[in-house]
Amino acid sequence: SQTIHQWPATLVQPVGSPLSLECTVEGTSNPNLYWYRQAAGRGLQLLFYSVGIGQISSEVPQNLSASRPQDRQFILSSKKLLLSDSGFYLCAWSVPGYSYNSPLHFGNGTRLTVT
């Protein structure tokens, strides 16, 4: 069966520091991968998605970037964190290709607090 791992679960970082959040998926090949963010009391916002190694699409301009160095690894990064980067970051995967008849599966998220 497929599993998705995110770490760390919680993170407190000072303003201006770098960020690296990692997500890995097991049990599937060439999945679609997604990064979402949820600010406090708000809905989920799609940040990036990837349909293959090295293929990253950005949904909103921001202080963050994403990379996919391996088939089942998705990394969210920032060179210098802002206070507004605080939130709940969620990674998700779905079967490869444009399959609208299969769900996204989410990890347990990383709660980031920028101080």
Partner 1 sequence: DAKTTQPPSMDCAEGRAANLPCNHSTISGNEYVYWYRQIHSQGPQYIIHGLKNNETNEMASLIITEDRKSSTLILPHATLRDTAVYYCIVRVRTSGSRLTFGEGTQLTVNP
CB 63 → partner 1: shortest distance, Å?
A: 21
Whose CA is closest to 62, among 44, 41, 42, 76? Answer: 76
Task: Give the span between the Cα atoms of 54 and 68, in whole angstroms.
Answer: 5
**Residue 36: partners with Cβ closer than 8 Å, 6 or more residues away:** 44, 45, 46, 47, 89, 90, 91, 92, 106
Selected from 7, 12, 97, 115, the binder of partner 1 by CB under 8 A is 97
11: alpha, beta or left, given left = phi > 0 and alpha = psi -120 to 50? beta
Of 16-24, 61-69, 70-78, 84-92: span binding partner 1 (CB under 8 A): 84-92
CB 69 → partner 1: shortest distance, Å?
A: 19
Interface of this chain with partner 1, residues 20 to 59, rule: CB under 8 A: 32, 34, 36, 43-46, 49, 51, 57
Residues forming contacts to partner 1 in the complex (CB under 8 A) are 32, 34, 36, 43-46, 49, 51, 57, 88, 90, 92, 94, 97-101, 103-109, 111
